[in-house]
Amino acid sequence: MSEQLVNRICSELSTLVLVDPHTHINPHSPASKTLADILGYHYYTELAHSAGMPKSQIEEPGLDPKTKVGRLVEGLVHLDNTIQVSWLVELCRKFFGFSDDRITSSNWESLYDRAAAKMAEPDWEDQCLEMSGIERVFLTNDFDDPLTGFDTSRYIPCLRTDDLVFHFTNPTVRARLARATGIEPTNPARLKDAIGKLFEHFSRHGVKACAISLPPEFTPVRPSSPSDMNRLFHAAFIQSAPDSTDSGAVASRRSGQEFIFWTIAEFCAEFKLPFDLMIGVNRRVYPDGVFQGQDLFDQRVSLIQYKDLFNAFPQVTFPVSVLSHASNQELVSYSWIFPNVVTNAHWWYSNIPAYITLDTKARLQAVPRNKQIGYYSDMYKLEFAWPKFNMYRQCLSRVLAQDFVIERGWNEDDALSLGQQVLRGNVETIFNV
Amino acid sequence: MSEQLVNRICSELSTLVLVDPHTHINPHSPASKTLADILGYHYYTELAHSAGMPKSQIEEPGLDPKTKVGRLVEGLVHLDNTIQVSWLVELCRKFFGFSDDRITSSNWESLYDRAAAKMAEPDWEDQCLEMSGIERVFLTNDFDDPLTGFDTSRYIPCLRTDDLVFHFTNPTVRARLARATGIEPTNPARLKDAIGKLFEHFSRHGVKACAISLPPEFTPVRPSSPSDMNRLFHAAFIQSAPDSTDSGAVASRRSGQEFIFWTIAEFCAEFKLPFDLMIGVNRRVYPDGVFQGQDLFDQRVSLIQYKDLFNAFPQVTFPVSVLSHASNQELVSYSWIFPNVVTNAHWWYSNIPAYITLDTKARLQAVPRNKQIGYYSDMYKLEFAWPKFNMYRQCLSRVLAQDFVIERGWNEDDALSLGQQVLRGNVETIFNV
Amino acid sequence: MSEQLVNRICSELSTLVLVDPHTHINPHSPASKTLADILGYHYYTELAHSAGMPKSQIEEPGLDPKTKVGRLVEGLVHLDNTIQVSWLVELCRKFFGFSDDRITSSNWESLYDRAAAKMAEPDWEDQCLEMSGIERVFLTNDFDDPLTGFDTSRYIPCLRTDDLVFHFTNPTVRARLARATGIEPTNPARLKDAIGKLFEHFSRHGVKACAISLPPEFTPVRPSSPSDMNRLFHAAFIQSAPDSTDSGAVASRRSGQEFIFWTIAEFCAEFKLPFDLMIGVNRRVYPDGVFQGQDLFDQRVSLIQYKDLFNAFPQVTFPVSVLSHASNQELVSYSWIFPNVVTNAHWWYSNIPAYITLDTKARLQAVPRNKQIGYYSDMYKLEFAWPKFNMYRQCLSRVLAQDFVIERGWNEDDALSLGQQVLRGNVETIFNV
């Protein structure tokens, strides 16, 4: 393949200013303050731990940022092959004038200081967004987030609902819901009212999506009749201990989860919100892992589990992310058949060039072009948008060059326009931003 | 990779006249009459619907062909990236003098008229086959097809058995079987006799294969003893309501299905017919979808489910198609071990270049060359053989060029001869045509 | 991609002398004596059988080596596309002065004789290792192997434990254990003592790994309390017939297997041995197949099944091989998160370039570089190390060239050094050789 062609497409795509449709940015502190915020990203701590660094060394209480960075830099020697470390090096080159190929024990200190100085500039947040070509950023908001004190036209609220669905047995979660809505969620009807209040609150603050991550075995079905639901709700959330492993308790808890999930989907329909499904994560598989470095997956999952949901809510758009590369063909096929299913980016363990490339090829070959959200950064700090989107742009450019320009004889402008649509246009139309 | 090399191999392969070993051609009306027959192919209606066009607009009763085409053309704007639309454009260029890159609201009418004129030529069927390099075409015949009124040397009968196995609870199906054979299938012995009659009938008309599509959970086992089978048959087909969800009824229905399936395999052995297994489709996953645009799949399927069958019938060849790309490695491995399992083309949701290419690489690297059926078109109208086989030839040529000529140092003639064998030679030997 | 670049990297990697970390070499007869030893490798017998040669012809009792080779050569005509036959041709060219592209009925006899002469040279074993660039070779030793009579610095013992875990119901296995250790394994405590004796014996002879192959459904959990275990052990191994299919017998047998497996893991911890897990094989799927050509797999398997094990033994390194390509992303992800999980080569049905290439890409992009064992040959005779490692080196070189040098801008020396680490360096550090 002609590298010139790839590079030409990629640099053209790089001029497009983007909306990032899924991140974990804290809008009250969106950018990093030191390299510790950057090297503290779970990708680096978990990989350093995996490569041999004890968790105690990484997560020592009271560790000052510079010492922490110094320690993690020692771990990088085993990680320079990873794409995640290439993000790190690329952002340091882009933003902090770093000019080496690797961050090592002999060059990190000056980088640390230069980065700290840069990040201390009062407009660093604006500079970083500007240099990254990002103008709006979706958030991941707790259901009881007041959504005040930040610019919701730049940082777009997204209602994250994992706690409601999967931790509703937890009294703290129920108390948070009662506090946020003024309604004690002691039965299905009251819970529905409370969730309605959340949607009203988020709606007033410009919410553009609802989102949830789901374990591989989750199979939502239409809830039971109201009277059965009252009984199951009582059994699941009032009567049983939250962690009971009794099979009856487990079954009613599952029914309760499905009821809450289904209720949220109903409100997505009412409030005309897309419902982001992030399918396939098992939480706390490695409980002794570092913070956020404990989750994994089971590839034995199928979108057939969502058949009832997709059929019951034709008016709701479901941007679907799958954790396992093995699920991509199902995602392609379900998006090709169901009008309300759209492909959503490349998530977590599938977010490496080997899988992005294969998944992008299949999507561009078989899913309508208006139903593909190319990418989101999933970042916690603004500095990561640039290298992550850049990785995606390179994979996308390579597929456009090979599959469309070379193999199908498209002209470059048409290929470029397809790339622009999945990078930006569809984010606007699908999320109505 | 040198594009010259790929193109050289591909144009050489294009000169080979082919037998298409699986289609849905109606031999009484094999070619299209207007572009509505072509754009009415479920790929275009389902993709247009998926991209946003209401089903009511596509399937409006009494819609005249030209209006229908006009509507579907509006949907193409969201679909031009798909490989399915590239088939459409390529066939219009090949057969109807179309010279643009896209079919749009401003150029479709003249194309429609030109195509209609061409298709109205009395020898269009012959012309189309000739231009497509196809000389014989396998059909998909209902079990009660009289198989008369067409040239069975050009259109080769294939006994399709889905109705018998999976819809035998349906009284209409049983009535059709009784009418076709003169035997009321009221117990296992009579059903076996009736199926034997079907095989005799098909055999007299030159049948070359038996075929069935199978849901992901199907796991055929050797049937129970005759007396148990009598009881199960009665429970499955006489006693229970056809759609009973009672677990006993479901279990005996499953035993009944397995019995019918196994009986068909026995007759394949007796009549020396290959038994095409098309594994992995879930029917009516999206029941509100357009005609033929409702089926999907569950990737959690394994060929281990067919272990008993493959062992029980060493004398029957099973050309196996898998719907899920995830199943391809199993197909490669089972074909590498079982003498009676052969790889059969690239089916439906796996029939896009991204998956064809990967699947072809693995097959050519690990399955004996005499056990690979490269491709079938699965077409409903003759015009699709050319663009679909052409897509396959391009993928195949690319794999032959890269994996064999460049990486393994084969000369081009040897690579070409491997391509010719999977494209044509094996169809002849495996189906005995 | 520049073929020159690939070739430059590959020839540089070829100069590296290697340790082969998993083989089935018999140290008392490591090299072949005739081509029958080479063509008798199950890859050739099973592929010839799959392509149409009756098992009786291949495994005829008393068949002399030359006749056997003559027969198998006839089968090669259907197999020349396979990568396995390319190993054969390449080793004949490398070692026996063969200069044709294919082994045929007209050239095999002179090759047979030339090869026999070469193999009859008294130092053939040394020559072969020297020409292959292999200096040490891991074995696969039965648990009761005396480990004497060979040079354990060249042929490194590895304790294979399939018999203990999966065939302990077999009285012969229990008798072998009693004989090897002097302990009758009639209850859990005595069995544990006996296994401890085996580890001591292997340890005295320089064992460097323990290994086991595991069926897809195996899900080891921490054993029950000692008193429960006594009861289960009795039910599994004393009370029930070895092949009982009674569900209680099956369940206690499974508990027994898990207990033995867990006990072995405990001794790996005590003796500081890596525990090679080879996950996903179903044995005897095609019982009428040729010797060693009967096993297949079920892709529906997940590393989540090993969650308890990986958490319970943080001090044990688990080099994991997966049989199914579908499992590779899980292997990448589990190795990226768990410090004690490392990727181990490309096993059996995944050991073809199509899958090696994709799997290598993902591993090199996301697993710490010190946690990847690039390759083992799995060979039964020394002549196969060279062509198998060569296949891997070519795939690896292609990935290093494309993903690292071209796409990520690495210099060739850094790419080479990454290749050297996965080829050799990590074998030394992980297995402590």
Cβ-nearest to B371 among C50, C358, C394 = C50
pLDDT at residue B245, rounded to an integer: 83
pLDDT at residue B236, rounded to an integer: 87
Return mean pLDDT, chain B. Answer: 97
Handedness of CA B6, B7, B13, B18 (dihedral sign): positive
- pTM beyond 0.95: yes
Q: pLDDT tens digit string along C119-154?
A: 999 999 999 999 999 999 999 999 999 999 999 999
- Contact between residue C374 and residue C396 where contact means Cβ atoms under 8 Å apart: yes
Give the CATH number for residue C191: 3.20.20.140
Please state, in angstroms and rounded to a whole number, the distance separating the CA atoms of residues B166 and B169. 8
CB contact under 8 A, B293 and A403: no
Q: What is the CA radius of gyration of chain C?
A: 22
Q: How distant is the Cα of A365 from the closest Cα of chain B, in angstroms?
A: 5
CB contact under 8 A, A50 and C366: no
Residues of C whose CB is below 8 A from B366? 82-84, 349, 352
- Owning domain of residue A88: 34-122
Give the CATH number for residue C104: 1.10.2020.10
Smallest CA-to-CA distance from C112 within C175, C171, C57, C67 is with: C67
Question: How many contiguous H segments (helices) and E segments (strands) does chain A have?
Answer: 19, 11
- Contact between residue A307 and residue A329 where contact means Cβ atoms under 8 Å apart: no
CB contact under 8 A, B337 and C84: no
- Contact between residue A6 and residue A397 where contact means Cβ atoms under 8 Å apart: yes
With vertex at residue C114, the alpha carbon angle to CA C112 and CA C119, rounded to the nearest 5 degrees, is: 90
- Mean pLDDT throughout C59-80? 97
Cβ-nearest to B296 among A304, A361, A404 = A304
Q: Which residues pair with B84 in a beta bridge?
A: none
Residues of chain A under the 50 pLDDT cut: none
pLDDT at residue B425, rounded to an integer: 97
- Contact between residue B51 and residue B74 where contact means Cβ atoms under 8 Å apart: no
Can you read off the two tokens belonging to residue C103?
Answer: 């082994």
Q: How many residues does chain C have?
A: 433
> Among C93, C120, C147, which residue terminates a domain?
C120
Q: H/E/C letters for each residue in chain C?
A: CCHHHHHHHHHHHCCCCEEECCCCCCCCCCCCCCHHHHHCCHHHHHHHHHCCCCHHHHCCCCCCHHHHHHHHHHHHHHCCCCHHHHHHHHHHHHHHCCCCCCCCCCCHHHHHHHHHHHHHCCCHHHHHHHHHCEEEEECCECCCCCCCCCCCCCEECEEECHHHHHCCCCHHHHHHHHHHHCCCCCCHHHHHHHHHHHHHHHHHCCCCEEEEEECCCCCCCCCCCHHHHHHHHHHHHHHCCCCCCCHHHHHHHHHHHHHHHHHHHHHHHHCCCCEEEEECEECCCCCCCCCCCCCEECCCCCHHHHHHHHHHCCCCCEEEEECCHHHHHHHHHHHHHCCCEEEECCCHHHCCHHHHHHHHHHHHHHCCHHHEECCCCCCCCHHHHHHHHHHHHHHHHHHHHHHHHHCCCCCHHHHHHHHHHHHHHHHHHHHCC
Q: Is residue C27 part of a domain?
A: no
pLDDT at residue C128, rounded to an integer: 98
Q: pLDDT tens digit string along C386-430?
A: 999 999 999 999 999 999 999 999 999 999 999 999 999 999 999
Tell whether A155 and A64 lie within a shared domain. no
Q: Is residue A13 part of a domain?
A: no
Can you read off the two tokens belonging to residue B383?
Answer: 């015009």
Tell whether C138 and C43 lie within a shared domain. no
> Among C101, C120, C139, which residue terminates a domain?
C120
Please give the single-letter amino acid code of residue B147.
L
Q: pLDDT tens digit string along C327-365?
A: 999 999 999 999 999 999 999 999 999 999 999 999 999
Q: Is residue A9 part of a domain?
A: no
Q: Which residues does A51 contact at the CB level (< 8 Å), separation at least 6?
A: A75, A78, A79, C339, C368, C370, C371
Please state, in angstroms and rounded to a whole number, the distance separating the CA atoms of residues A215 and A322. 11
Tell whether C216 and C339 lie within a shared domain. yes
> Among C67, C87, C120, which residue terminates a domain?
C120
Tell whether A91 and A148 lie within a shared domain. no
Q: Is residue A14 part of a domain?
A: no
CB contact under 8 A, C361 and A353: yes
Q: How distant is the Cα of C349 from the closest Cα of chain B, in angstroms?
A: 6
Tell whether C178 and C58 lie within a shared domain. no
Chains touching chain C, criterion 3+ CB pairs below 8 Å: A, B
Tell whether A236 and A326 lie within a shared domain. yes
Interhelix angle A3-13/A412-420, nearest 10 degrees: 40
pLDDT at residue A261, rounded to an integer: 98
Q: pLDDT tens digit string along C213-237?
A: 999 999 999 998 888 889 888 888 8
Q: pLDDT tens digit string along C269-298?
A: 999 999 999 999 999 999 999 999 999 999
**Which ipTM did the prediction report?**
0.98
Q: Is residue B290 part of a domain?
A: yes
Tell whether A281 and A426 lie within a shared domain. yes
Q: pLDDT tens digit string along B40-77?
A: 999 999 999 999 999 999 999 999 999 999 999 999 99
- Mean pLDDT throughout C288-315? 98
The number of domains in chain A is 2
Tell whether A82 and A175 lie within a shared domain. no
Q: How many CB pairs under 8 A join A and B?
A: 106
Chains touching chain B, criterion 3+ CB pairs below 8 Å: A, C
Tell whether B79 and B222 lie within a shared domain. no
Average pLDDT for runs of 10 along chain B of length 433: 92 98 98 98 98 98 96 98 98 98 97 98 98 98 98 97 96 96 95 98 98 98 89 85 82 93 98 98 98 98 98 98 98 98 98 98 98 98 98 98 98 98 98 96
Q: H/E/C letters for each residue in A19-86?
A: EECCCCCCCCCCCCCCHHHHHCCHHHHHHHHHCCCCHHHHCCCCCCHHHHHHHHHHHHHHCCCCHHHH
Q: How distant is the Cα of A163 from the closest Cα of chain B, in angstroms?
A: 28
Q: Is residue A23 part of a domain?
A: no
Tell whether C102 and C157 lie within a shared domain. no
Please state, in angstroms and rounded to a whole number, the distance separating the CA atoms of residues C399 and C360. 7
Q: What is the CA radius of gyration of chain A?
A: 22
Return mean pLDDT, chain C. Answer: 97
Q: How distant is the Cα of C78 from the closest Cα of chain B, in angstroms?
A: 5
pLDDT at residue A91, rounded to an integer: 98
pLDDT at residue C1, rounded to an integer: 64
Smallest CA-to-CA distance from B256 within B217, B230, B283, B282 is with: B230
Q: For B302, which residue in chain A has the nearest alpha carbon?
A: A300
Phi, psi at residue B295, to the nearest 5°? -100, 145
Chains touching chain A, criterion 3+ CB pairs below 8 Å: B, C
pLDDT at residue A1, rounded to an integer: 64
Q: Is residue B115 part of a domain?
A: yes
Tell whether C78 and C182 lie within a shared domain. no
Q: Is residue B18 part of a domain?
A: no
Tell whether B178 and B270 lie within a shared domain. yes
Can you read off the two tokens belonging to residue B113?
Answer: 């008229």
Cβ-nearest to A355 among C337, C362, C364 = C362
**Pairing mode of beta strands C275-279, C318-322:** parallel
CB contact under 8 A, A368 and B82: yes
Q: How distant is the Cα of C100 from the closest Cα of chain B, in angstroms?
A: 12
Cβ-nearest to A368 among B78, B101, B353 = B78
